[in-house]
A and B are shown apart, each in its own frame.
Chain A
Amino acid sequence: MKYFLMLMLASAAGAQSPAGNPESGKLLFDKDGCYECHGHAGQGGRPGPRIAATSLSIQTLRRYVRRPAGAMPAYTEKVLPDPELRDIYAYLKSLPAAKPSKDIPLLNQLRDQ
């Protein structure tokens, strides 16, 4: 029981810690298979939505990763500890937002057709 409480406290502390390591998060994002559905740059695709530059908080992301509402696999603490999740979150937050499509000529021409 004592061990369980310690784990809970450690987990909560990890989840609430503001900073993660984006470089480590980038490696984990690929190593743990996040890219498979969301793309290497978190841009999203048919199997998974865009999560680059996410507007979610780390708490919301953590809740979703542990008990997803959609078809995403549920990653438990056992396979994706909070510190690693925090690093992944830092990586996602570090990714640049996309340029507006009107500033990309190939996309802008599609607008006018």
Chain B
Amino acid sequence: MAKSTKTPVDRRGFLKGAAAGAAAIVAKGPAANAQEASGRRAAPLPSERLVAAETSPPPPRTDVYTTDRPGADFMLDVIKSLGFEYVAANPGSSFRGLHESIINYGGNKSPELLTCCHEESSVAMAHGYAKIEGKPMMVMAHGTVGLQHASMAIYNAYADRVPVYIVLGNIQDVTYRRNDVEWAHSVQDAAAMVREYTRWDDAPVSLGHFAESAIRAYKIAMTPPYGPVVIVADAVLQDEPVADADRRSLRIPRLALAAPPAGDSGAVAEAARMLVEAENPVILAGRVARTPNGLKLLVELAETLQAPVQDRPYHYRMNFPSRHPLYGGGSIEEADVIMALEVPDFWQATHAQTPINRMGMQSRPTTKSGAKLITISSLDLLAKSNYQDFGRYNDVNLALAADAEATLPSLIEACKRLLNTDRKRVLLDRGVKLAEAAKQAHQQALEQAAWAWDTSPITTARLSAELWNQIRNEDWSLVSDVLFMSSWPTRLWDFDKHYQYIGAQGAYGIGYGAPASVGAALANKKHGRLSVNIQCDGDLNYAPGVLWTAAHHRIPLLTVMHNNRAYHQERMYIQDMAARAERGIDRANIGTALTDPNISYAMLAKAYGVYGEGPIENPNDLGPAIRRAIEVVKRGEPALVDVVTQPR
């Protein structure tokens, strides 16, 4: 093996080389000759003292054991400037410096650390929190194994257009990785794994860079369409002292949130004209109401037009009061104008496809000929390729790439300007008919809820009615989805406040429900609201440790299990496949059942320090059990009631 002739360039090697050069000058060696040949003037000979200093072994390193100002302290100054209340984390060595700064330098306040048992729980908690609080929670995780755990929850938040602020630890400099663990936990480009489903990321190489990118990340997360962002906090920057020069120059940039993009005035005027002239308009509401004001604005628009608002079956947000006479009515098939506001898959709402019980695939529009379609959606401002949550392209007549909530004020005004007295009278007549239809639909829902009222397993309608009876006089907030409950809560309860419903997963990634409800309950805590979670059993089993987080941090939350003892959605799909293949229709339970043994969720809760009761199988026992659990929640603790339920 050939030896390199290169001289090492570390400091010790450099000094040796300098000494050799000096000696060569004295001896008139080749180096001196070369300098003379190049016409350069010879340097004066160094003194003996200088030669000695330069050629002696370097003094032993003076170890520095402490610092009064680790870089993580400055990072925390930046983080504090963003106003985070909480930071959720499962502890990890790559962000140990920041962890220590938060609890000691920051006094564990604003943000306060939430101890999580899984990174998926951390992100989903932040997801649920943001939908109540309207701003992000911070999450910390390893840039590798922690982010891998967190990734599904990040995708959910992305697809649900919810801001989550994620700080990843990573040791970028190879020379600082002290052992195999730190090598395995280090990554060249930490955010790469989630870049396709985050709004923005950066890996700052200095503290000044961190400050700027941290502020920028927050701004991007909070500019519609909202979404998760990732900032890598390099471990060396966290752990090493802030350099003297930096102490004088580091600054925290000012955060100025961007005003959400509103629709073009000409397009808004055109949309208003189409809506006012329509005989049977329908408004489809997706993730419209980002804030409580969004709900008020949508009500104002609907009442101005006397137009029905639909948001079933997915209920992305609390967009519209559930008992409003304009809620849920109208018909896509009969509509002449359909306006979709922040609807993620508008095509699906206006088309029918070959159902899963038949081979092949055909589709057809369900709208009548000549129907006009309008969209107002910030999703048109978010172009990503790989993950397909954007849905199928829909042929629309007018598309506004804009935030719907921000566009509603100008749309309402434009509609009002076009309405004369005669037109208002026509619209009011339409409103009367829609109100009557809504009344009948509610009556039908009540009659339907009565079926199998006394049955065990308990029907989801009975569970919803019993729960409503216990919470209706409280300041309540439903912090879970309703889809797997056959939407009974939104069919029976009286929802009229923005915080009373938060929608679902976003990307339908299961495992979101339990942690999101804990995060949302934490946001509700300071308002004194009674948070209610109707919890699917399959979902809870992904990361049940979040029950301990709720107990540990004294997060008041009523959890009522929807325990159908199955991954039931998948069981129905297996049933479809068996029927298509004409075999084994009695075997769909294999691989989908959560029985043998049955899981005791009351015991699970107790193991994590949460009040637990059940399983409740007799419907007559349900109301008293819920009442007892609410008493616990009102003392500031989480409580769980296990209810054995019908499948849907």
Name A's B-contacting residues (CB within 8 A): 31-33, 35-37, 39-47, 50, 52, 68, 70-76, 78-80, 98-101, 104, 106-107, 109-111, 113
Whether the pair A79, B585 counts as a contact (CB closer than 8 A) is yes
Closest to B450 in A: A98
A40 CB contact (under 8 Å) in B355, B453, B457: B457
B468 at the interface (CB under 8 A from A): yes
Main DSSP-derived SS at the B contact region: loop
6 closest residue pairs by CB, A with B: A73-B579, A45-B648, A41-B452, A43-B452, A71-B355, A43-B451
Could you write out 13 A-B pairs with CB less than 8 Å apart?
A: A32-B585, A33-B585, A36-B568, A37-B647, A43-B646, A50-B451, A71-B355, A71-B356, A80-B585, A100-B450, A104-B450, A107-B449, A107-B450
Whether the pair B646, A39 counts as a contact (CB closer than 8 A) is yes
Whether the pair A107, B446 counts as a contact (CB closer than 8 A) is yes
Min CB distance, B444 to chain A, in Å? 10
B85 at the interface (CB under 8 A from A): no
CA gap between A109 and B579 in the complex, in Å: 42
CA gap between A111 and B646 in the complex, in Å: 24
Whether the pair B572, A37 counts as a contact (CB closer than 8 A) is yes
Closest to B493 in A: A110
Name B's A-contacting residues (CB within 8 A): 313, 323, 355-358, 442-443, 446-453, 455, 457, 459-461, 465-466, 468-469, 472, 483, 486-487, 492, 494, 568, 571-572, 575-576, 578-580, 582-586, 588, 646-648
Whether the pair B586, A33 counts as a contact (CB closer than 8 A) is yes
CA gap between A104 and B459 in the complex, in Å: 15
Whether the pair A98, B451 counts as a contact (CB closer than 8 A) is yes
Instruction: Report the number of A-B residue pairs with Cβ-Cβ less than 8 Å.
Output: 124
Whether the pair B648, A71 counts as a contact (CB closer than 8 A) is no
**Residues of chain B with a CB closer than 8 A to A74's CB:** 357-358, 579-580
Min CB distance, B591 to chain A, in Å? 14
Main DSSP-derived SS at the A contact region: loop
Min CB distance, A18 to chain B, in Å? 25
**Residues of chain A with a CB closer than 8 A to B459's CB:** 39, 41, 43
CA gap between A31 and B587 in the complex, in Å: 8
**Residues of chain B with a CB closer than 8 A to A42's CB:** 452
Whether the pair B466, A106 counts as a contact (CB closer than 8 A) is yes
**Residues of chain A with a CB closer than 8 A to B492's CB:** 110
**Residues of chain A with a CB closer than 8 A to B355's CB:** 70-71
Whether the pair A33, B452 counts as a contact (CB closer than 8 A) is no
Most A-side CB within 10 Å, residue of B449, B487, B647: B647
CA gap between A52 and B451 in the complex, in Å: 8
B647 CB contact (under 8 Å) in A35, A78, A106, A107: A35
Instruction: Tell me whether A46 and B452 are in contact in the complex, defined as CB-CB below 8 angstroms, given that A36-B647, A110-B468, A111-B443 are known contacts.
Output: no
B646 CB contact (under 8 Å) in A45, A68, A75, A80: A45
Min CB distance, B566 to chain A, in Å? 9
Min CB distance, A44 to chain B, in Å? 7
**Residues of chain B with a CB closer than 8 A to A79's CB:** 578-579, 582-585
CA gap between A90 and B455 in the complex, in Å: 19
Instruction: Tell me whether A46 and B585 are in contact in the complex, defined as CB-CB below 8 angstroms, given that A74-B357, A98-B453 are known contacts.
Output: no
CA gap between A39 and B469 in the complex, in Å: 23
**Residues of chain A with a CB closer than 8 A to B457's CB:** 40
**Residues of chain A with a CB closer than 8 A to B446's CB:** 101, 107, 110-111
Closest to B568 in A: A36
**Residues of chain B with a CB closer than 8 A to A33's CB:** 571, 575, 578, 585-586, 588
Whether the pair A39, B465 counts as a contact (CB closer than 8 A) is no
**Residues of chain A with a CB closer than 8 A to B461's CB:** 43
Whether the pair A104, B453 counts as a contact (CB closer than 8 A) is yes
